[in-house]
């Protein structure tokens, strides 16, 4: 009877939340999947598995990037957003969005690579040269590599010149000698090897495991509703992970796991990365 009463209270709190799109529906967005068709294709299996496990309905809310997603949450158009570590810090600072569960990516770390035959042997050798980073504001392609260089004693935009080139263009620039190195994550090194088999790269700096991607909740969602979502991930992790990783976009999570014990403090390391760029407020995405 006590368990039934608790379940009833949780359900009542969820169903009575004024900010839900419908009484038993949660509105869900992913910042790096562009458009409804792609969202349905890449997250459809997860949606089906989550609905079966939770008795909740998931309503996809398509966005065209992180800025649209944070604006949608500010306008109370979306309840939960799956996003990256750097983006979470901004959502939290601007909207007091809270962590719900992380999506672990195995071997998710940043590197700075140079040509294998490059005379650059130490970070000190980078001084006065150009380093290309991936997407501006990306945790693994920008903030992470900058953090590695900072820890090696190199000041951002003072000891070297940061540039932002598409990865394939960056490789060509590296071969041509126009840049000295590239900041990327591990999976990009593998992609380089496949696409440019004759270009041999050497890892100059390698970072630790980065904080995971994260499902965050709007501050307007009832705490009881957030707890139901968190508990669903904890209780049905194998089923949900199998569903998530059944599509191409989510192959990065294969071999990973969910962490429902995540706290905001777990992302302080990302805030430190922002500080390397001279950013201390965290309310705007880098480059915007």
Span 63-112, pLDDT tens digits: 999 999 999 999 999 999 999 999 999 999 999 999 999 999 999 999 99
Query: What's the Rg (C-alpha) of the chain?
Result: 21
| Domains parsed from the chain with CATH numbers | 2-105+212-274 (3.40.190.10), 110-206 (3.40.190.10)
The pLDDT tens digits of the residues spanning 244-261 come to 999 999 999 999 999 999
The Cα 91–Cα 140 span in angstroms is 18
Q: Write down the pTM of the prediction.
A: 0.88
Within a 10 A sphere around the Cβ of 186, how many other Cβ atoms? 18
């Amino acid at each position: 009877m006590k368990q039934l009463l608790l379940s009833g209270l949780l359900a009542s709190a969820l169903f009575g939340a004024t900010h839900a799109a419908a009484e038993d529906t949660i509105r869900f967005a992913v910042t790096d999947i562009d458009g409804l068709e792609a969202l349905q294709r890449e997250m459809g299996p997860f949606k089906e598995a989550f609905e079966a496990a939770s008795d909740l309905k998931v309503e996809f809310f398509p966005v065209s990037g992180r800025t649209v997603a944070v604006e949608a949450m500010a306008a109370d158009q979306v309840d939960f957003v799956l996003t990256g570590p750097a983006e979470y810090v901004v959502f939290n600072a601007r909207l007091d969005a809270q962590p719900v569960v992380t999506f672990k990516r195995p071997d998710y770390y940043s590197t700075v690579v140079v040509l294998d035959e490059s005379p650059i042997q130490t970070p000190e050798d980078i001084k006065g040269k150009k380093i290309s980073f991936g997407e501006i504001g990306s945790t693994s392609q920008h903030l992470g590599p900058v953090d590695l260089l900072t820890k090696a004693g190199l000041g951002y935009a003072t000891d070297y010149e940061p540039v932002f080139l598409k990865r394939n263009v960056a490789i060509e620039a590296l071969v041509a000698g126009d840049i000295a190195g590239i900041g990327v994550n591990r999976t990009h090194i593998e992609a380089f090897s496949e696409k440019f088999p004759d270009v041999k790269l050497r890892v100059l700096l390698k970072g630790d495991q980065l904080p995971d991607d994260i499902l965050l909740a709007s501050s307007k969602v009832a705490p009881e509703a957030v707890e139901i979502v968190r508990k669903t991930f904890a209780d049905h992790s194998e089923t949900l992970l199998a569903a998530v990783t059944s599509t191409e976009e989510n192959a990065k999570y294969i071999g990973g796991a969910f962490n429902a014990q995540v706290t905001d403090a777990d992302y302080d390391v990302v805030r430190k990365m922002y500080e390397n760029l001279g950013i201390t407020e965290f309310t705007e995405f880098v480059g915007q």
